[in-house]
A and B are shown apart, each in its own frame.
Chain A
Amino acid sequence: EIQLVESGGDLVQPGGSLRLSCAASGFTFSSYAMSWVRQAPGKGLQWVSSISGSAGSAYSADSVKGRFTISRDNSKNTLYLQMTSLRAEDTAVYYCAKEMGLSAGSGTQGFEVWGQGTMVTVSS
């Protein structure tokens, strides 16, 4: 069974940093692109960032570019999101999601499996 378990969410002050992790199991992690998608309280879904299976390519939303960095450790079957210069508008549940193929970016086939999410609250 494919499982994605996020962790690392917390209450952090504006300007602070946080690193989210997503532990994957039940599939060959290095063979699939992975993504982060977030959802602010009571709002819709927003794509944050994606990374290819080999970590050779990565893409991010303009709203987080320069502040968030997606990475992965295929030896540990773990996806990361390093978040810096956090703002109140980054407050959301952050989901990691498995894609259907190795490549990330344009032309992919959707987010096949999602984790349960981890809450990030940015507030003073």
Chain B
Amino acid sequence: IHMAQSPASLPASVGDRVTITCRASQSINKYLHWYQQKPGKAPKLLIYAASSLHAGVPSRFSGGGSGTDFTLTISSLQPEDFATYYCQQSYITPFTFGGGTKVEIK
């Protein structure tokens, strides 16, 4: 299953509402997860099962969608949110990731 993530780069400012999109090449129900990765660090799980917030993740992060189209929204971008975000499907092996979205300072 191919995961198409957009945009690849997202210039934004602190306080902005940002939305990242992930589209699967076939239906994956709600087996879609979002990760945040900062340079030189391991990824961290933000959202699992499309819309469930992982423990300890701030509520400004939210996920939505099902089937083939999914979104990750940050309601008010904070300085610590500048990072690269990846979606991943676990509907079927081989598990696949999107290409990543780098949220950068505008």
What is the bound-complex CA distance between A116 and B54, given in angstroms? 19
User: In the bound complex, do residue B90 and residue A95 qualify as a contact, i.e. CB atoms below 8 Å apart?
Assistant: no
User: In the bound complex, do residue B96 and residue A47 qualify as a contact, i.e. CB atoms below 8 Å apart?
Assistant: yes
Residues 32-62 (chain A) with a chain B CB within 8 angstroms: 37, 44-47, 50, 59, 61-62
How many residues in B have their beta carbons less than 8 Å from beta carbons of A?
Answer: 25
User: In the bound complex, do residue B88 and residue A109 qualify as a contact, i.e. CB atoms below 8 Å apart?
Assistant: no
As a 0/1 sequence over residues 63 to 74 of chain B, the CB contacts with chain A under 8 angstroms (1 = contact) are 000000000000
Q: Residue B94 contacts which of A44, A47, A100 (CB distance < 8 angstroms)?
A: A47
- For the complex formed, measure the closest distance between the CB of A53 and the CB atoms of chain B, giving whole angstroms: 16
Given contacts A114-B42, A114-B44, contact A44 B93 (CB under 8 A): no
- For A61, what are the chain B residues with a Cβ–Cβ distance below 8 Å? 94
A47's nearest neighbour on chain B, judged by CB, is: B95
Q: Does B86 contact A (CB under 8 A)?
A: yes
Q: Does B82 contact A (CB under 8 A)?
A: no
Given contacts A44-B97, A46-B97, contact A110 B91 (CB under 8 A): no
What is the bound-complex CA distance between A95 and B37, given in angstroms? 13
Q: Residue B54 contacts which of A44, A95, A112, A115 (CB distance < 8 angstroms)?
A: A112
What is the bound-complex CA distance between A79 and B62, given in angstroms? 32
Q: Residue A45 contacts which of B48, B54, B88, B91 (CB distance < 8 angstroms)?
A: B88
- For B91, what are the chain A residues with a Cβ–Cβ distance below 8 Å? 106-107
A residues near B, CB below 8 A? 37, 44-47, 50, 59, 61-62, 95, 100, 105-117
For the complex with contacts A106-B92, A109-B90, 20 further pairs of A-B residues with Cβ separation under 8 Å are: A37-B43, A44-B86, A44-B100, A45-B35, A45-B97, A45-B100, A47-B95, A50-B93, A50-B95, A59-B93, A95-B43, A100-B48, A106-B31, A107-B31, A110-B33, A110-B48, A110-B90, A112-B48, A114-B44, A117-B42
29 A–B contacts from the bound complex (CB under 8 Å): A44-B97, A44-B99, A45-B43, A45-B88, A45-B100, A47-B88, A47-B93, A47-B96, A50-B95, A59-B94, A61-B94, A62-B94, A100-B48, A106-B31, A106-B92, A107-B31, A107-B91, A108-B31, A109-B31, A109-B33, A109-B90, A110-B88, A110-B90, A111-B33, A111-B88, A112-B48, A112-B54, A114-B42, A115-B42
